[in-house]
Structure 1
Amino acid sequence: MTSRTPSLPRAAALVGPYASGKTSLLESLLFTCGTIARKGRTRDGSTVGDSSPEARSRQMSVEPNIATAQYLDETWTFIDCPGSVEFKQDSLNALAVIDAAVVVCEPDPARAVMVAPMLKFLNENKIPHLLFINKVDTAGTRLTETLEALQAVSDRPLVLREVPIREGETVTGYIDLVSERAYRYRPGQPSDLIRIPDEIQSEESKARQELLEHLADFDDRLMEELLEDIQPPPNELYQDLSRDLADNLIVPVFFGSAENNSGIRRLLKALRHDVPGPATTASRLGIAADGPPMAQIFKSVHAQHTGKLSYGRVWRGEFADNQTVGDSRISGLYLPTATGPAKAARVGTGDVAAFGRLDSIPTGGVLCVDSSAALPWTKPLSPLFALAVAAEKKGDDVKLTGVLAKLCEEDPSLVLDHSEFGELVLRGQGEIHLLVAIDRLKSRFNMQVITRKPTVPYKETIRKATSVHGRHKKQSGGHGQFGDVYLDITPLPRGSGFQFRETVVGGVVPRHFIPAVEQGVTESLSQGALGFPVVDLSVTLTQGSYHAVDSSDMAFKTAARIGMAEGMPQCEPILLEPVLLVELSVPSDYTAKAQRIVSGRRGQILGFDAREGWPGWDTVNAYLPQAEMDDLIVELRSLTMGVGTFAWTFDHLQELTGRVADKVIEARREALAAE
């Protein structure tokens, strides 16, 4: 291979399913680069990554692990992304700013489906990516079977770059299919160059021919050489591999063992020679080469004492500490290292850096002298799980809202809202996702909270009409209070909402008091006879009386509330439960299980069809009561190897009777009594 000049700093993301070994791979990459003197292990919590208390307590990545290293003469930033789908937003954000992704997976064909959503995202966004099949030292499965299963879930051709050398069932080395050189692993050291074993000569020749044919699909000259039985020189193949990877035409495949440091140097060499630089990536993203310095923020972190750190990728130009950029001033500039952020005087094109105190720039925002500058950004994931949260200490509600807002800025897939029952509701991607957020409230901001299931927004309506008289009269010296109204309460068709009318004649209720009557009626509908908001009814003010001195807006509003309180129980109130239109997306092998989940949750299956743009996947459409949605995502993921998901929208309210309704009403009465 020809020598090359050092490139600008490049960035690669390590992505893949939970437990595939990404954090171990990061450790091996840093060790091989000489960044760390000793490798840590995930099982004893000694790795560079997963250093937060939340990650250590769960022995899993719950945020990106970012570290910069030098390999030979070049600078690399590696971003180890969480494997759990509950922290997918961080992965998507990191992928928006890297030059290439390394998709880490296990050598188990049955688990190939777990990689499908990530490969789909990478292909749709034209992000160059490689596959690293990890843990080959512990698997008894043939790589060819794994490769076939992975190819079934990839839109791009998977191109094997090497074939394994085995001793029994153990992979002890590899043959590079371009240089046709064989190497034996030496854990923690460079591999030994050896002669290609005779027993795998034919396997190597077949795999190399397949590699050449894949490359020839995108290179007419190589196709002509193959047709004329001309062996192309290695340099030509390396150029094809680099170009096709940058154009997202192929997915090179490597293998090894991160735990034993096998195949790591081979992966680093491929990254060094094949991955495009930041200028090519910026062009892919539509960022002009010329212009003022620009960086894009992909991760924000708030700490109680140090303030906000904004991690970003520099696309062009340089930034210096204490520099004013547009409306922002950089107060602290850091490079991510294996031991934590290290202060830097300046950073330039290609660097991944942490900028201090950029309070006005959100995740996905742009740091540039042009404060209106914007770049495309990944849409936040829709929430799938919710918890109602409240401060454990009375008086901390305002503080809780503020710190939760900071966590939502760090992770846009966290959503904070207020329910109609006055609850503060935190929504996210799953139970673990929200529990980690709760843990961060305590560890970072010393905020203790109480959590519970959010109140389901039941409603109630009426099935019978009635007429009532509401009278409020009070005399306590001086001016008294007097209001007198007659109301007709009538049910309306489902979805009609609330209507107020008046048919008063002769001035028995003066015109200027009628709005107060309507307000009193409206306020009474916030809590009906069953304890829930009332919908789908009409209230008509028909007549009444007033006192020239004692009548007032407050008196007529109170009279209306008295009339409604007396009349609503007479109207045969009935509970209404919200029903959602849910679209479950699962691999076709799990469609029947998804349907059983719906049936087991009082749902109504509307049908299923092939998921558009997702070969081998189905979409199941169904109506599901909102009360049954609580842990739907937990069950769906557990039955689909973590890849099943759903989307939902509110559809309608339907009557609920029987034992389920009785339990809901009783629970509501107990909750109101406890307030």
Structure 2
Amino acid sequence: MASNPNGTPGATERGREGGGATRCAAILGPYQSGKTSLLEALLHATGTVERKGTVKDGNTVGDTAPEARERGASTELSIGHGTYLGDSWTFIDTPGGIEFTLDSRHACMIADVAVVVVEPEAAKAAAAGPILKFLDDHDIPHVVLINKMDQASESVRDILAALQGSSSRPLALRQVPIRDGEKVTGYVDLVSERAYRYREGEPSALIELPGSVAGREAEARNELLETLADFDDHLLEQLLEEMDLDKQEVYAHLAETLSADKLVPVLLGAGEHDHGVQRLLKLLRHETPDHTATVERRGLGDGEVPMAQVFKTIHAPHMGKLSHVRIWRGTVKDGDTLNGAKVSGIYAASGGKLDKRPSAAPGDVVALGRMDPIQTGDVLTPSGGMPDSGLGWPEVPQPVFARALSVSERNDEVKLSGALAKLAEEDPSLLVRQDQELGELTIWGQGDTHLRVTVERLKSRFKLDVSLSEPAVAYRESIRNPVDEHARHKKQSGGHGQFADIRISVEPTSRGSGFAFAEKVVGGSVPKNYIPAVEEGCREGCKRGPLGFPVVDVKVTLTDGQHHSVDSSDMAFKIAARSGLQDALAKAGPVLLEPIHQVTIAVPSEATSKVHGILSSRRGQILGFDAKDGWPGWDAVTAYLPEAEMHDLILDLRAQSQGLASFTWTFDHLQELTGRLADKVVEHHMAAAG
């Protein structure tokens, strides 16, 4: 194998030294770990941008959306392209907030490698746990970059230990820092055993290995080789016999284990200052797989027939719908038909800019124009046929936060509906519901920031003036006591009148049984043809009980009545039944029912006790907790919780868990609500109803 300019050999015989490989790297990491600054540094190093922008100045290639610039944090995917030593690269910067996780996961599914960016603090680095778990579960090769090393105050060992607790793959430290006092000024590469000094805005300078770090370097190098030897018996024999190792062979082993997602290399750097960026690029070039290996890993088959997969959908101003895809194989040309939809334009995205192309080759990441029927996750082929395996697209997480959405101008309601449909297509984790019973339009998402970003997009992109409020709870009511009721409807206004007379028994039934109707009429006092009208009237009477809510879990029995041969009608019996039932309900001890959900909260174990406190303060009933299956260091807490207490539950959970906790929920049962809380609910409902 030939060596690159830094003394690093090529990873495989795929011809990378001659250039021409096409690869894609997704950049992930917790909130504010420095991903956007790293993307800017990578684009600068690959010659895409002449001058780096900064998050502070709001002039980076990524985070071009107004809501991202305002927050100084990513709220959607940012794509950039570059060329490094003859290889073509697509870099996808992903949002760090847990509320935008789905975008990050979609990017990972089409990437050849993921770069996980963490801060140099053990507590903050541990926040990358869910990211590492996802990558491990999907066998996605990944590299860890401990970023912001210029601000490091903790040992790399402690940071690595915190990360290893969240990774099922062994982490292999590839560099040790060189410190001048408390400041990190460079690093030693543990394979080449060369030392480098960081230089602001420039590649690191080769220096003589400092004596102060020689002992630590030898120890760390031995740990790296021992970890690598776990995957290669020949290397293990060489270590046991204390033989001199061929560095090129070591690099080849590192490339093989990374490509197979058996080992995770860990690098050091500071993207904002260009520290370690060239070293990261060289590792990516020589040790990460290309798109053909990814196609094989995903089980997408081979051949020349074009195949692409959509990982992001955008409705761009003046451009219409854009489907961002990775081309798995074949060449896609403008005007081709995929899955029955015509490609109307092919574009390479770079931040907020689009560069039109006549075609896209295997490995390319491009946007296809105006393919309206196509959805995120779709695999596209000329025939529309799907591969037998390898799809495994991530499931959309259940929404955990809801707000009622209202528009200031009623004339904008149709426009709002269309805008929300587009945003929900762009972001499948955003759910829009129109509740006819409550008369509310609600949006559901992954947290407060998620929904506020949605509102900002409605305002900036669609010029809609909207506001959020706490959504209503779908309360119900029932009765405690059985009661008999007599009801008569009689009206005479010339010609045929209206007459109906009924006797009904109303009684409570078991919780969850709903509404039941029966009849025990004898002697034809109520003709059978009028009995369905009685049932219909009773059902209508249940739509709003004496407390103002729909009535459930009651049984109504028609026992007797009278009719008139001329004036009786379906309408008369329906009116009598509705009126009689409402009178009966008011006498039967009405009781308010609130919906209770079963929630399962996933949380790091150190925060489990805090979760118990949160649930108790919200009238929750804890059912139990246990270790979360497949998640070392995490617990799953199960509880019953009133719906009224769930609206901002996720905010408290994340505040007590470094932003990591999440939960799933499902409706379980209705439960009586009494006392002052019930009085407040009824008073508020009556006031709102006017």
Q: TM-score, normalised by structure 2?
A: 0.95
Instruction: Give the 3 Å change call, closer, same or farther, for CA 304–514 of structure 1 in structure 2.
Output: farther
Deviation at 1:304, TM superposition (A): 4.9
Aligned to 2:251: 238
Aligned partners of 2:149 and 2:269 also within 8 Å: yes
Deviation at 1:291, TM superposition (A): 4.8
Aligned partners of 1:462 and 1:537 also within 8 Å: yes
Deviation at 1:586, TM superposition (A): 1.2
Deviation at 1:308, TM superposition (A): 0.6
2:395 pairs with 1:379: yes
Deviation at 1:482, TM superposition (A): 2.4
Aligned to 1:118: 131
Instruction: After superposing the two structures, state which structure 1 stretch, 660-669 or 298-307, moved more.
Output: 298-307
Aligned to 2:13: none
The alignment yields a C-alpha RMSD, in angstroms, of 1.4
Deviations 1:178-204 (A, max 9, x none): 111111111111221111112211111
Aligned to 1:301: 314
Instruction: Give the 3 Å change call, closer, same or farther, for CA 421–330 of structure 1 in structure 2.
Output: same
Aligned to 1:599: 616
Which secondary structure state, in structure 2, belongs to the residue aligned with residue 42 of structure 1?
A: coil
Aligned partners of 1:303 and 1:444 also within 8 Å: no
2:481 pairs with 1:481: no
- Letter matched to residue 335 of structure 1: A
Deviation at 1:584, TM superposition (A): 1.4
Question: In 1, distance between residues paired with 2:503 and 2:414?
Answer: 43
The one of 381, 394, 400 equivalent to 2:416 is 400
Aligned to 2:367: 354
- Letter matched to residue 386 of structure 1: A
Question: In 2, distance between residues paired with 1:310 and 1:602?
Answer: 45
Question: In 2, distance between residues paired with 1:485 and 1:301?
Answer: 60
The one of 557, 574, 584 equivalent to 1:540 is 557
Deviation at 1:475, TM superposition (A): 2.5
- Letter matched to residue 407 of structure 1: L
Question: In 2, distance between residues paired with 1:210 and 1:573?
Answer: 71
Aligned partners of 1:458 and 1:532 also within 8 Å: yes
Instruction: Give the 3 Å change call, closer, same or farther, for CA 34–291 of structure 1 in structure 2.
Output: closer
Instruction: Give the 3 Å change call, closer, same or farther, for CA 501–395 of structure 1 in structure 2.
Output: farther
Which secondary structure state, in structure 1, belongs to the residue aligned with residue 584 of structure 2?
A: helix
2:548 pairs with 1:531: yes
Question: In 2, distance between residues paired with 1:241 and 1:139?
Answer: 27
- Letter matched to residue 416 of structure 1: V
The one of 44, 52, 55 equivalent to 1:42 is 55
Which secondary structure state, in structure 1, belongs to the residue aligned with residue 564 of structure 2?
A: coil
Aligned partners of 2:491 and 2:498 also within 8 Å: yes
Aligned partners of 1:392 and 1:448 also within 8 Å: yes
Which secondary structure state, in structure 2, belongs to the residue aligned with residue 215 of structure 1?
A: helix
Question: In 2, distance between residues paired with 1:137 and 1:16?
Answer: 18
Question: In 2, distance between residues paired with 1:5 and 1:572?
Answer: 84
Aligned partners of 1:13 and 1:101 also within 8 Å: yes
Deviations 1:441-493 (A, max 9, x none): 12222222232111111111100111112222223333332222221111112
Which secondary structure state, in structure 1, belongs to the residue aligned with residue 410 of structure 2?
A: coil
Aligned to 2:600: 583
Question: In 2, distance between residues paired with 1:550 and 1:359?
Answer: 58
The one of 11, 30, 49 equivalent to 2:24 is 11
Q: How many residues align?
A: 673
2:344 pairs with 1:331: yes
Aligned partners of 1:386 and 1:630 also within 8 Å: yes
Q: How does 1:370-449 map to 2 (within 5 A)?
A: 370-373=383-386, 375-419=391-435, 420-449=437-466
The one of 481, 484, 508 equivalent to 1:464 is 481
- Letter matched to residue 44 of structure 1: D
Which secondary structure state, in structure 1, belongs to the residue aligned with residue 626 of structure 2?
A: strand
Deviations 1:228-274 (A, max 9, x none): 21122111111111110011111100011111110000001011111
Structure 1 unmatched ranges of 5 or more:
none
Deviation at 1:157, TM superposition (A): 0.8
Deviation at 1:339, TM superposition (A): 5.5
2:325 pairs with 1:312: yes
2:656 pairs with 1:639: yes
- Letter matched to residue 444 of structure 1: R
Deviations 1:70-126 (A, max 9, x none): 112111111110000011111111111100100000110122320111111110110
Instruction: After superposing the two structures, state which structure 1 stretch, 286-295 or 467-476, moved more.
Output: 467-476
Aligned to 2:528: 511
Aligned partners of 2:78 and 2:351 also within 8 Å: no
Deviations 1:28-65 (A, max 9, x none): 11111111111111122121111101111222110011
Instruction: After superposing the two structures, state which structure 1 stretch, 590-599 or 185-194, moved more.
Output: 185-194
Question: In 1, distance between residues paired with 2:459 and 2:116?
Answer: 33
Aligned to 2:667: 650
- Letter matched to residue 384 of structure 1: V
Question: In 2, distance between residues paired with 1:148 and 1:464?
Answer: 63
Which secondary structure state, in structure 2, belongs to the residue aligned with residue 137 of structure 1?
A: helix
Q: TM-score, normalised by structure 1?
A: 0.97
The one of 246, 256, 260 equivalent to 1:247 is 260
Question: In 2, distance between residues paired with 1:458 and 1:327?
Answer: 46
Question: In 2, distance between residues paired with 1:395 and 1:534?
Answer: 34
- Letter matched to residue 560 of structure 2: Q
Structure 2 unmatched ranges of 5 or more:
4-8, 11-16
Question: In 1, distance between residues paired with 2:493 and 2:311?
Answer: 66
2:78 pairs with 1:65: yes
Question: In 2, distance between residues paired with 1:398 and 1:512?
Answer: 43
Aligned partners of 2:61 and 2:350 also within 8 Å: no
2:686 pairs with 1:672: no
- Letter matched to residue 116 of structure 1: G
Aligned partners of 1:299 and 1:410 also within 8 Å: yes
